[in-house]
Chain A
Amino acid sequence: MKLSDVMAGARLEVFAEIGLVIFAMAFTVVLVTTWLRSNRDAFERARRIPLDDGER
């Protein structure tokens, strides 16, 4: 039996949809964390980094 036969019988048709759900969840985690109020000060400082390198 070849690997392709095994894969054909594994009913992987939903494989892509599972991936979609996983990545949607990961994106949600990033979204929520980014908008947590506790991160606000850190991001406020981070956005100024290019302007604070002493060069104009």
Chain B
Amino acid sequence: MTVRLERFTYDDDIVRKFMLATVVWGLVGMLVGLVIALQLVIPGLTLSLPWLSFGRLRPLHTNAVIFAFAGNAIFTGVYYSTQRLLRARMWSDTLSLAHFWGWQLIIVGAALTLPLGITTSKEYAELEWPLDVAIALVWVIFAVNVFGTVARRRERHLYVALWFYIATLIAIAVLHIFNSLEVPAGPFKSYSVYAGVQDAFMQWWYGHNAVAFFLTTPFLGMMYYFLPKAADRPVFSYRLSILHFWTLVFLYIWAGPHHLHYTALPAWASTLGMLFSVMLWMPSWGGMVNGLLTLRGAWHKVTEDPVLKFFVAAITFYGMSTFEGPLLSIKSVNALSHYTDWTIAHVHAGALGWVGFMVFGMVYWLLPRLFQAPLWSRRLAETHFWVGTVGIVLYLVPIYTAGLTQGLMLRAFDETGRLAYPDFVETVLRLRPMYWARAVGGSLYIVGMLFCLVNYYMTWRARPAAYARAEQEAPALAVGSVLPIAGGSASAPGFARAQWHRRWEGMPLTFGVWVAVAVVVASLFEIVPLFLIRSNVPTIAAVRPYTPLELHGRDIYIAEGCNNCHSQMVRPIRAETVRYGEYSKAGEFVYDHPFLWGSRRIGPDLHRIGGKYPHLWHVRHMDDPRSTTPQSIMPAYPWLLRAPYEVRAIERGVAAQVTLGVPYTPAEVAGAPAAAHAQAKGIADEIARQGGPSGLEDKQIVALVAYLQRLGTDIRR
């Protein structure tokens, strides 16, 4: 029988576009990171400008690095390797372009809205609802294009890298859609449909699995493709890669609650998250070992090849981060590490070491192939590796030290049984030298990125006038046929045998459905009891909805990103109840759309701040934090004393809360502006009586003070 060969070319133009976006956005995202790192030691660096304040720029940094840098890198790797692994051009060049430009527009949208204070407050999901919708649409375009390519592939077997890509496509869609369910309250404002404990659970179900399925599985897929290519060795164990894949898919989705240990989340959910997190250590190290052993017999190449250096270091960081993750999920360790810089160090070990170095290795491997010219300077790439590695070490060592230092100081008691460091700012001041050292390490990493950009530009300059388009040949897949993998034979007994898994992953739709089932079912095992069993969130009769002015103050708190530095969750730990007051209860958050528990304490917890200070203290503190706390590193918010609050936003906010089930009466909704004004007048008069400025009754500061003074006070009624 004669086999008709089909001729085709790969679309490398789209890969070049995504690769350029990767390095450019990577540099932008990391520079923003450096700016906010410096703001922690030079608070005046915000220049008292709203759009430069830490709370607004921190989500810009995280979103830029995750979705712009890592996101574009994922698409670079996926578009390059998918075509070659499937022996097919992407299904639609138009969809590829729509994906590219759609994603870049979303990034630009994020860069514009986040500094303006347009945010949902939910970590790594801060973008407001119009951008959420855009993300969903662009993701669907990406998925259609990939599945379309899979459908018309010329390679029967889906190589394991593609399984990781498919899992990413499906899981991210599920996570994004369900965590982003929100009720709009205007063109740039929305409220999460979930409240309090349930919102916290959904957020960290999303947040942890964004790490899993955006920063891990696609990069593992890239590891399983680009590492064998660079080393010219097949992956060490294909069986291990299958186990690696399925165990990650089975286990990762359960682990999210470990971000909420000792909070108001039910203990069973938290314990379940811990158990699955500890189990994750095994497949993660299986993957790391599989990656490193792929270099068996090729270690001599590592000494000469900067690409392999980046890959080896990246896989090593993957191993370290995935050992540390389970460690941090253990409750007793988490009690110390949570809310401190230890988490920041852990995240950056993964982001700079694993993700960043995988990206750089891939970029250096792709540059000569995509631009059809030799890499401009191998020596500069080597220098990038060493400067970047030293940068990571200089970043991580002080920040781990900072995390441990602050964690231990916050829980220290003296011999009389009182807090050894009762003033929170004492613990922050101790960290300043470490913050400086971190900024130096981060700067070095950015210098390495600049080297990469230079190499990129110079290699690009040496490109030919027109790129040669290598024509490929491969036979079409016959329906129902079992084609050989190149180099094999269709009649080879092992391959031709109808093994269930091989047949199964040869059916991408079925395979995708089962991945979705694994992700959704695992999620439902946690979500259903949490949402439907009443005892998980015991109600408290004294807890009532916020007044319209308090609700608006809460919106301002969200817009300024206060939750990036302040938690609202007093854990039932003695050091916290002594420092902050009564521990936080699930029933106190039933009207909190969204929850604002935070994940890091650069400043103290605020859940029991209500009534602790007079109104005037808050006004002075927001206007100039150093006037009330001389050594504070908090940025100043003088514009809150000048900018008027928006009456229309109050009306829209209350109406949206009613849609969410918050029990405001029709009279309360209709009278929201008047009620807000009356409360604002009372607070402004009180501030004036205390010797503060007058005329604040229509300013944002009054709404914020109203909210802060309400925090945590319901249970005292």
What's the Cα separation between A12 and B535 when bound, in Å?
A: 11
Q: Contact check: which of A5, A35, A49 meets B239 at CB < 8 Å?
A: A35
Interface residues of A in 5-48 (CB under 8 A from B): 5, 7-8, 12-13, 15-16, 18-20, 23, 26-27, 30-31, 33-36, 38-48
What's the Cα separation between A39 and B500 when bound, in Å?
A: 10
Cβ of B159 and Cβ of A42 under 8 Å apart?
A: no
Cβ of B494 and Cβ of A4 under 8 Å apart?
A: no
* List of A residues within 8 angstroms of B526 by Cβ: 16, 19
The verdict on A53 contacting B234 (CB below 8 Å), with A34-B242, A46-B160 known, is no
CB distance from B424 to the nearest CB of A (A): 36
What's the Cα separation between A10 and B417 when bound, in Å?
A: 46
Interface residues of B in 209-248 (CB under 8 A from A): 224-225, 228-229, 232-235, 237-239, 241-243, 246-247
* List of A residues within 8 angstroms of B493 by Cβ: 41
* List of A residues within 8 angstroms of B243 by Cβ: 30-31, 34
Cβ of B534 and Cβ of A15 under 8 Å apart?
A: no
Cβ of B238 and Cβ of A43 under 8 Å apart?
A: yes
* List of B residues within 8 angstroms of A40 by Cβ: 494
Cβ of A38 and Cβ of B268 under 8 Å apart?
A: no
* List of B residues within 8 angstroms of A13 by Cβ: 268, 529
* List of A residues within 8 angstroms of B485 by Cβ: 45-46, 48-49, 52
* List of A residues within 8 angstroms of B412 by Cβ: none
Interface magnitude class on chain B: 35 or more
Question: Is residue B478 contacting chain A, with contact meaning CB distance below 8 A?
Answer: no
Task: Give the interface SS of chain B, mostly helix, strand, loop or mixed.
Answer: helix
* List of B residues within 8 angstroms of A26 by Cβ: 250, 518
Cβ of B522 and Cβ of A23 under 8 Å apart?
A: yes
Cβ of A42 and Cβ of B494 under 8 Å apart?
A: yes
What's the Cα separation between A33 and B239 when bound, in Å?
A: 10
Question: Nearest residue in A to B80 (C-beta to C-beta)?
Answer: A55
What's the Cα separation between A18 and B502 when bound, in Å?
A: 29
What's the Cα separation between A48 and B160 when bound, in Å?
A: 11
What's the Cα separation between A8 and B536 when bound, in Å?
A: 10
Of the candidates A34, A35, A46, A52, the one having the most CB atoms from chain B within 10 angstroms of its own CB is A46
* List of B residues within 8 angstroms of A49 by Cβ: 85, 155, 157, 159, 485-486
Question: Is residue B497 contacting chain A, with contact meaning CB distance below 8 A?
Answer: yes
Query: Interface digits, B503-527 against A, CB 8 Å rule (1 contact, 0 not)?
Result: 0000000000000001001100110
Question: Nearest residue in B to A5 (C-beta to C-beta)?
Answer: B534
The verdict on A47 contacting B234 (CB below 8 Å), with A3-B532, A16-B529 known, is yes
Cβ of B534 and Cβ of A8 under 8 Å apart?
A: yes
* List of B residues within 8 angstroms of A54 by Cβ: 472
Question: Is residue B468 contacting chain A, with contact meaning CB distance below 8 A?
Answer: no
Task: Give the interface SS of chain A, mostly helix, strand, loop or mixed.
Answer: helix
Cβ of B246 and Cβ of A30 under 8 Å apart?
A: yes
Q: Contact check: which of A27, A33, A45 meets B501 at CB < 8 Å?
A: A33
Cβ of A50 and Cβ of B268 under 8 Å apart?
A: no
The verdict on A41 contacting B492 (CB below 8 Å), with A13-B268, A15-B529, A53-B85 known, is yes
* List of A residues within 8 angstroms of B500 by Cβ: 33
* List of B residues within 8 angstroms of A43 by Cβ: 238-239, 242
Q: Contact check: which of B159, B234, B492, B497 meets A38 at CB < 8 Å?
A: B497
CB distance from A28 to the nearest CB of B (A): 11
Question: Is residue B533 contacting chain A, with contact meaning CB distance below 8 A?
Answer: yes
What's the Cα separation between A7 and B482 when bound, in Å?
A: 49
What's the Cα separation between A45 and B157 when bound, in Å?
A: 10
Question: Is residue B488 contacting chain A, with contact meaning CB distance below 8 A?
Answer: yes
Cβ of A27 and Cβ of B247 under 8 Å apart?
A: yes
Question: Is residue B528 contacting chain A, with contact meaning CB distance below 8 A?
Answer: yes
What's the Cα separation between A49 and B163 when bound, in Å?
A: 14
What's the Cα separation between A30 and B249 when bound, in Å?
A: 12
* List of A residues within 8 angstroms of B534 by Cβ: 4-5, 7-8
CB distance from B260 to the nearest CB of A (A): 15
CB distance from A15 to the nearest CB of B (A): 5
Question: Is residue B499 contacting chain A, with contact meaning CB distance below 8 A?
Answer: yes
Question: Is residue B487 contacting chain A, with contact meaning CB distance below 8 A?
Answer: yes
Q: Apart from A19-B525, A46-B159, what 10 extra A-B contacts exist at CB < 8 Å?
A: A7-B528, A7-B529, A16-B525, A19-B526, A39-B494, A41-B493, A48-B486, A49-B486, A55-B84, A56-B232
A-B contact list, 5 entries, CB within 8 Å = A30-B242, A39-B494, A45-B484, A45-B485, A46-B485
Chain B positions near chain A (C-beta within 8 angstroms): 81, 84-85, 87, 155, 157, 159-161, 224-225, 228-229, 232-235, 237-239, 241-243, 246-247, 250-251, 268-269, 272, 275, 369, 472, 484-488, 492-495, 497, 499-502, 518, 521-522, 525-526, 528-529, 532-535
Sorted nearest first, the 9 A-B pairs with minimum C-beta distance are A41-B494, A19-B525, A7-B532, A52-B486, A47-B238, A43-B238, A47-B234, A45-B485, A53-B84
